Amino acid sequence: MDMYNEDDKRIVLCGANAYEQKYYFNEKFNGIPESIKEELHIICVLFTEEVGGVFTIVFEEDGSVSFDTDAYEEDVLYDEISSGLLIREIRMQRQELLESLSLFYRVFILHETFEEASQSI
């Protein structure tokens, strides 16, 4: 998995690949507490175990957190419907985690003040 997406200025935080059975965490974000890293690991691996394909959590240019999922074209086992449902479920159940990650990114990577960053979340 590439750390940077060539098409835009998004940065991959972490991801899992069902085909290679691998998990990736971007070392640029080693400042994130271990408990959150573990939670991200679990989210990514469980997603690919349930749905298949490749799942990544990325920071958008503005600091918001997005999910990307993709599958090989010939992968008939990849479940696109479950993918969308699971992403919606993660967003609802992990809203506080996602807001905290966005705040972390805006303060430590984009160098916004805490006040600036927390106003737009």
Percent of the chain with pLDDT over 90: 77
Q: Are 17 and 1 in contact (CB under 8 A)?
A: yes
Please list the alpha-helical segments (H only) found in the chain. 34-51, 80-93, 95-108, 114-119
- In this structure, the strands spanning 65-70 and 22-25 are unpaired
Q: Rounded to whole angstroms, how far apart are CA atoms 99 and 115?
A: 14
pLDDT at 2: 45
pLDDT at 5: 45
For 22, list phi and psi in degrees, rounded to 5: -130, 150
pLDDT of residue 83 exceeding 50, the answer is yes
